[in-house]
Every structure is written in C-alpha cells, then in structure tokens.
Structure 1
Amino acid sequence: MNAKESYNLQGKERMRFMERKCEIYAAYGSNMNLRQMALRCPSAEVLGIGVLENYKLTFRGKRRGVANIEKCEGATVPVVLWNITRKCEKALDYFESFPKLYVKKQIKVKINTRIVEAMVYVMPDEYQNYPAKPGPYYLEMIEQGYTDHGIISSGLLDAVQNVQREVVMSKLIKEEL
C-alpha cells in the first residue's frame, strides 16, 4: 500500500497502517542484543550490520556508564540496523530515557559500499564530560549483541579500556583542584 492509498483509509484501518510505517534504527549498545530487542520491540527486524565512520564508542553517565557515540576522525563503530515501527520507537524512547538521557539524531551508516540514513540515540554533548564505567551485566548485554551478529568485540574492549583511563584521569584532575 502506498501513501496515496493510505490517505483513503479511515479510523482504525488508517491507524493500523500508520503503525506499520517503519524507520531504520542503528543500535551500537545493548540494543544490538537479539534477546533484549525481542523483549523491547517484538516487531523489529534485523536489516544487517553497518558501520558508523568517524565515530567512537564511549561510555558516559553521571553514575553508571551507558554506551554513547562521539565524533572521532578515523574511528569506526559497528552497528546493527533494525527496521522498527512507530510502536517500537516509542518503546525504545522509554528504555533510552528519551529525551532526558538520549536525544535522537539521523546519521549516515555505511553498509558495504552503500550509505543509508538511520536514527540513533546519542547523549547530548554535555555528557562527554562524564566518563563512567559500565556495569558488568550491561557490558555482557552489549557483548552478547556483538556475538549475536558475528561482530568482533575488539572495539568494545577498547572503549572499556578508554573509559577506565578517562575515569582515573578525571579523578586525578579533581584531586589536584
């Protein structure tokens, strides 16, 4: 059914059609995990694996660290691309604490030689000043997502090592002040 045909739908039929409208969502954290997404968004479908170019994976937060992406020339972050409905997006908004912790952004994702636009959740820039270690369970959820899709986890391990260094440096700087 195309947009012109949907215009002629009435009431509940139109709502059902509008609900099926989909968007591409790029997950780089725990929403890469198949089991978690099956619980949060049962109608979401995996489209494939992509790469965010010139971004790095980080962990930020005021208490516990959660995944984020930040611009970084030359770096890359693997993502799982999902086809999500509006209902899925509303569920993700809840789980991602949108708009308090994360905001939405359209971003270009490379899939082999193609580029597609996808929606991602990212933290506002102010969180770049809050490096925080992720909890073990949260980290396991992300690692399982990498495993689910056959993604090598070296970038994830690098991000964990980087945030550990950032946290130590942040404490040292605070002690000097």
Structure 2
Amino acid sequence: MDNRLYVAYGSNLNVEQMKYRCPTAKVYGKGMLQGYRLLFKGSLGNAYLTIEQKIGEEVPVIIWGIGPKDELSLDRYEGYPSFYYKENLEVELETGEAVEAMVYIMTSLRTRLSLPSKAYYEAVKEGYESFGFDIKFIEEALKLSKGSGFHG
C-alpha cells in the first residue's frame, strides 16, 4: 500500500495529536470540503465530529499525507469500520489544486446528535486555531448538536 491523502476535520487537525498517532504524517495542504457540514454525534458528553452532506455548506480541512502504518493507527483511533467508515472525496485546496483524499465519516449506528466533552472540543479548537480556521464552524456544529455547554 502506498502513501495516500487523508482529510482531517476534527481532532486530527491537532498537530500534537497527529505527531503522536501518525508519526510519519505530513501536512499536504489546506482547503474547504464543499457540500458538507460538521455535526457532533454520539452519547451525551462523548460525542465526536462527523460530516454530512449539505448543499451550500462547507467544512475547513487539512489534507495529510499518510503512510500505511499511519492509516492503520487512524483506523484503530476512528473505530473503523464500526464507528467510522471511509470514503474518498474530492477537496479543493487553497492553492486551487483538487485532490482526492480519504475521509472518515461516522456510521449510521451512532446518529444521535449530542455534545462533546470539553477536552475533545478543546483539542478540535486548538487544531482550528493552529491552522487559522474560523472557529464559527465548530461553534455552529455545537448549536446544531443541541445548543452549547459541555458535559463529562
């Protein structure tokens, strides 16, 4: 298996987490995933980000170049294939380049909108800030996923 491109939109925007989880991963580019929005899904105080199709919406993403061992590590972290499944999507980078990259999307088994833990939210927020993304995207996901506040 060769290296591949991976779309990160949640806690894997956090560079420190990615260094630990996927030591050979390198940032390939920054872009927007068109036609999707963010949502927090899971159980109360234990919800995680996912994306769902929504015309007219967009999600800021980082594209990582990952090796086979990185992908296996991500598969374990994301609970693939029972918690998240993989899909290949086209992403337009800020450079104008369009790339096809693998993304994890939450399975229908965990469809309940809910709130994340404060620790998870802070890890995502740190990633957003480090790449210069507007945190309005994750704030909107919080509102859509049952208001604001944290549990857990």
TM-score (norm 1): 0.78
Within the candidate set 20, 23, 30, 1:42 is matched to 23
Q: Which residue of 1 aligns with 2:38?
A: 57
- Tell me the distance in 2 between the aligned counterparts of 1:44 and 1:107: 19
Partner of residue 139, structure 2: 157
Deviations 1:5-43 (CA, angstroms, capped at 9, x unpaired): xxxxxxxxxxxxx5xx21000000000000000000011
**Equivalent residue in structure 2 for 1:144, among 118, 126, 146:** 126
| Distance in 2 between residues matched to 1:126 and 1:39, nearest whole Å | 28
Of Structure 1 and Structure 2, the greater strand share is in 2
In the TM superposition, residue 65 of structure 1 has moved relative to its aligned partner by 0.9
Displacement after TM superposition at 1:151 (Å): 1.0
Residue from 98, 105, 113 that aligns with 1:115: 98
Of the candidates 74, 81, 84, which is equivalent to residue 63 of structure 2? 81
Q: Contact between 2:32 and 2:93, CA under 8 Å: does it hold in 1?
A: yes
TM-score by length of 2: 0.91
CA distance in 2, matches of 1:39, 1:61: 24
Secondary structure in 1 matching 2:116: coil
* Unmatched 5+ stretches in structure 2: 148-152
Query: Do the aligned residues in 1 keep the contact of 2:83 with 2:109 (CA within 8 Å)?
Result: no
CA RMSD in angstroms comes to 1.5
Which structure 1 segments of 5+ residues have no match? 1-17, 166-177
Displacement, 1:126?
4.6
| 2:51 equivalent to 1:66 | no
Deviations 1:24-77 (A, max 9, x none): 000000000000000000110011211110100001114421000000000000
* Number of equivalences: 146
Q: Greater relative contact order (Cα 8 A, min sep 6): structure 1 or 2? A: 2
Q: Provide the residue aligned with 2:85 in structure 1.
A: 103
Q: What SS does the corresponding residue of 1:74 show, helix, strand or coil?
A: strand
Question: Which whole-Å CA distance do the structure 2 matches of 1:52 and 1:73 have between them?
Answer: 11
